[in-house]
Amino acid sequence: MRDIIAGFVRFQKEVFPAHKELFKELATSQTPTALFISCSDSRMVPELVTQREPGDLFVIRNAGNIVPSFGPEPGGVSATVEFAVAALKVSDIVICGHSDCGAMKAIATCACLDTMPAVKSWLRYSDAARMINEAQPHADERSRVDGMVRANVVAQLNNLRTHPSVSLALAQGALTLHGWVYDIETGSIEALDTDTGRFVPLAEHQSAKESNGG
């Protein structure tokens, strides 16, 4: 905790003054362009990986980068998605999984979660991904976990489409969904190619080509 407090002191003395005008603008409004949904894992920091400034991303982080399907009793994730789309009018939503994800590893290896009932219940939102991943051949445990990470990104994108605000924005052509997987060791990102259902290096993905004028 001492290190965290020391970090804040450095921020207040060194970082904040250099961005004073930015924080002055952000004090009364925000206009993020994207909603970024990632895992709570301490090794995955959306703003660092994407090199975004404060105010650029609206972020949801939870165990397994999960988005429950829309239901009669919406929770915090549903409310945040709705606010991002309906109120902030974000143009893009990214669901980003990552390598060595503890949540996905627990599912892929059938780890006993009896001592963590809340986690066990939460991960049921990845049941569709689990069934798809179990139906695929895997050479080893790492391959099984990697497959689960990718299947989960696809499953959560499908869950996301059940949210009324998302469905409307998609129908109006005002929103684009993205599925990413970040590799911690190499710093690389693979993106879902919806035409083929495969994950390809982000630099080779159509969205990257369009952003570079390709």
163 is in an annotated binding site: no
Q: How far apart are CA 153 and CA 132, in angstroms?
A: 12
Alpha-carbon span 64 to 102, nearest angstrom: 8
Contact partners, residue 181, CB within 8 Å, separation at least 6: 96, 97, 98, 99, 149, 150, 153, 189, 190, 199
110 assigned ligand-binding residue: no
Place of tokens 């990104």: 153
Provide the b/e sequence for 172-206 (b: ≥16 CB within 10 Å).
Answer: eeebebbbbbbeeeeeebbbbeeeeeebeebeebe
Binding residues: 39, 41, 98, 101
Binding residues for Zn(2+): 39, 41, 98, 101
